[in-house]
Amino acid sequence: MTNGSRLSARKEVILRALVEQYVRTGEPVPSKLISDQLASIFGPGYASATVRNELAALEEDGLISQPHISAGRIPTDLGYRYFVERLMGESQLALEEQRLIRHQFYQVQHRLDEWVRLTASILAQVLQAAAVITPPRDAETRLKHFELLALYESVVLIVLVLEDGTVRQERVILDNPVSQEDLSRLASRLNDRFRGADARTMDTLAFTKSSDLPPDEVLVMTSLARMLAHLDIMTPDAFYHDGIVQLLQRGEFTHADSDHVRKVVEALEQNQLMPALAPQVMQGDGVQVIIGGENDADALKDMSVVIARYGERGGMGGLLGIVGPTRMQYGRAVAVVRYLTQLLNDLLADTYNPQDVSAEQDEPGDPAPDVARDAVYDPAHDSAYDMTMPFSDVFRGEGS
């Protein structure tokens, strides 16, 4: 199958049935099971021989694979990608779930650190996956002010405050002991000059003026530039995670090699994923799904990421998402990540731009609009099948 080409309607129905069944059970899916299920909906157009032939074609296209010669089939990364882009039905959080989440956020309103921790906790609990989130920050870290505090002899503590309220500290060693009075005078002079500056401005001036300024002043400027650069949203320390326990309870890890489990845990705890994904996600819109080998973290090649940017583009914001096995309920994961993204958008707007909040804006956490319901015509059976309705619901006679 060439990139961008579309499968026949029958192949799409078969692929979707296989993906949904495998996501539910974690077991390779035999052709007879698919045939029996689809024949009960569509009739003889999905006889056993027909389904076997279509599965062979899907395997040749790289969308599914057969772990063992006598086993059923499982989706490949490419198969999951086709499912997500073409076939996935999107679920919504139940109203009771939405009310519970909104109530939890109401209890910690206007406490940024608690927003972040609560979001990670909710993602982990609802989706049984590892959650990652960066705290809200300006797109560019800019200096609000800093203080220089004498500790002992020539050791000085720099206390840096950003425009978004973030505070960081770092110790530096000057060439010679300096009194607190002189340090305060230096800080006052540099604050007047560099208030609102970003890392690049500070670093450039420190380099170009290094021959004209005292060594201690250059050292303070370069230290400030380094601290500002380190506080970029993509740095490993600027994130929270939760749900590693929930992730390791998934069937994919119960019998996994201990070395693989260790590498996955290290990749999550050391935030090896966010720095690689941040440029792509921050420039994109909506919820993005990165499947298996599409991400650059070697330890997470058999994992998928559902991630989104929250906050105003170019302003205060961050990233939030989940990491789980490629065998995940992508529709629900997208719905949960989107809901929490909208909720954080509203909270940030209320906190930082209350005058910009329109009276017509949805309440925080209002249900998302219904996903478009595409009906796929099946020539093998003269009917239309609603591609947003899971097969398990069809068997029970339920809607999505």
SS3 111: coil
**CATH architecture observed for domain 9-89+373-396:** Orthogonal Bundle (1.10)
pLDDT tens per residue across span 91-113: 788 899 999 999 998 888 677 77
Check if the beta carbon of residue 271 is closer than 8 Å to that of residue 234. Answer: no
* Range with lowest mean pLDDT among 29-33, 115-119, 164-168: 164-168
The tens digit of pLDDT for each residue in 6-62 reads 899 999 999 999 999 999 999 999 999 999 999 888 888 899 999 999 999 999 999
Domain 143-230 has CATH 3.30.1390.20: no
pLDDT (tens digit per residue) in 126-136: 999 999 998 88
> Mind giving me the DSSP string for 217-278?
HHHHHHHHHHHHHHTSTTSTTS-EEE-HHHHHTSHHHHTS-HHHHHHHHHHHHTT-SHHHHH
Domains of the chain by residue range: 9-89+373-396, 95-138+235-356, 143-230
Sorted by sequence, the CB contacts under 8 Å of residue 396 that are 6+ apart come out as: none
Q: What are the structure tokens assigned to 329, written together?
A: 């309920």
- pLDDT of 4: 66
The pLDDT assigned to 355 comes to 56
CA atoms within 13 A on the CB side of 151: 12
Provide, rounded to the nearest whole percent, the portion of the chain with pLDDT above 90.
41
By C-alpha distance, which of 156, 300, 285, 133 is closest to 223?
Answer: 156
pLDDT > 90? residue 83: yes
- pLDDT for the residue 136: 82
Report the pLDDT averaged over residues 282-306. Answer: 86
- Which range, 72-76, 140-144, 223-227, 275-279, has the best average confidence (pLDDT)? 72-76
| Cα 179 off chain centre by | 47
- Stronger pLDDT, 184 or 361, i.e. the higher one: 184
| CATH of region 95-138+235-356, choose from 3.50.50.60, 3.30.450.40, 3.40.50.300, 3.40.190.10 | 3.30.450.40
pLDDT of 386 strictly over 80 = no
224 in Cβ contact with 143 (< 8 Å) = yes
End-to-end Cα distance, the chain: 30
